[in-house]
Amino acid sequence: MSRQTPVQLPRGRPRSFDMEAAVERAMGVFWSRGYHGTALPDLLRATKLSRGSLYAAFGDKHSLFLRALDRYIADALTRMDIELDPRREPVDGLRAYLAGYVDRTSGANGRRGCLLVATAMELAGQDAEVGRRIASFFKAMEARVADALSRAKTAGKLADGVEPSSAARILVCFVEGLRVVGKTAPARNTSQATVDALLDRFIR
C-alpha cells in the first residue's frame, strides 16, 4: 500500500514525551483558568515539561494556546458528528446532542465552563487568530444542526412553520447560553427541563 517514507530518521535522542498529551494537559489548564489567568508555571506543572522543552516544542504561550483551542474544537466537532450521524434518526441525534449539553452545563461540569465560550469572550474581539477559529466553529456547529433539522423536516418530524436554518441558529445560541448560565452550576433537572421545553417547540 504505502511506500516506505524516504526521509531518514533523525540522528539524536528522540522526543520522549507525547506532544498530544501535553497539548491536552495544557488545554485543561487554559480551560480552568483562561488564557490570561494561566501562568507559565501552571503549564509546566500540568505538562510536566521543563521551560526549555515547552518552548522548543510549541514556540510560545500563545501558540500552545492555539493548539489547545484547536484540539478542543476538533473534539467538539467529532462528538457532534457522532451524535448527529446522518444514519441515525435525526430527532434522536438532536436529543443526544442536547443531552450532552445538559451534562456539561449542570453541577460541577457547569461550573468548570467551556474553553470555547470563555475564549470567545476573553480573546475573540482582540485576537484575530482566535476570532477566526471561534467564528468557524460556530458556523460548523450551525451547519451540522441545520443538516439534522433538515433531515427531521423531511421525515415530517418538525413542528409546523419551523425552518431548519433559523432553528439551527436558535439552537446554537441556546446551547452556548446554557454554558454561560451553567457557570452558576444549576441542578441537572433544571437544565434538562429547559432543554425539553425548547425541543417541544420545534419537534412534532
Partner DNA sequence: CGATTTAAAGACCAATTGGTCTATAATATC
Partner DNA sequence: GATATTATAGACCAATTGGTCTTTAAATCG
**Footprint of a second copy on this chain (CB under 8 A)?**
32-34, 36-37, 111-114, 117-118, 120-122, 124-126, 131, 134-135, 138, 159, 161-163, 166-167, 169-170, 172-181, 183-184, 190, 193-194, 197-198, 200-202
- With CA atoms as reference, report the closest residue to 116 among 27, 43, 20: 27
79 binds, among a second copy, DNA, none (CB under 5 to 8 A by kind): none
Interacting partner of 7 out of DNA, a second copy, none (Cβ under 5 to 8 A depending on kind): none
The stretch among 8-16, 23-31, 71-79, 161-169 that binds DNA (CB under 7 A) is: 8-16
Tell me the closest approach of the beta carbon of residue 75 to a second copy, in angstroms.
Answer: 18
SS (H, E, C) the chain: CCCCCCCCCCCCCCCCCCHHHHHHHHHHHHHHHCCCCCCHHHHHHHHCCCHHHHHHHHCCHHHHHHHHHHHHHHHHHHHHHHHCCCCCCHHHHHHHHHHHHHHHCCHHHHHHCCHHHHHHHHHCCCCHHHHHHHHHHHHHHHHHHHHHHHHHHHCCCECCCCCHHHHHHHHHHHHHHHHHHHHHCCCHHHHHHHHHHHHHHHEC
Q: Which of residues 36-75 bind DNA (CB under 7 A)?
A: 38-41, 48-53, 55-57, 60-62
The interface mask with DNA, positions 76-115, x = CB under 7 A, is: ----------------------------------------
Q: Of 19, 15, 144, 125, which is closest to residue 70 (Cα–Cα)?
A: 19
Residue 121's binding partner out of a second copy, DNA, none, with CB under 5 to 8 Å set by partner kind: a second copy
9 binds, among DNA, a second copy, none (CB under 5 to 8 A by kind): DNA
Contact 47, 94 (CB under 8 A): no
Partner interacting with residue 194 (select from DNA, a second copy, none; CB below 5-8 Å by kind): a second copy
If one asks whether residue 119 binds DNA (CB under 7 A), the answer comes out as: no
Q: Which is nearer to DNA, 57 or 77 (CB)?
A: 57
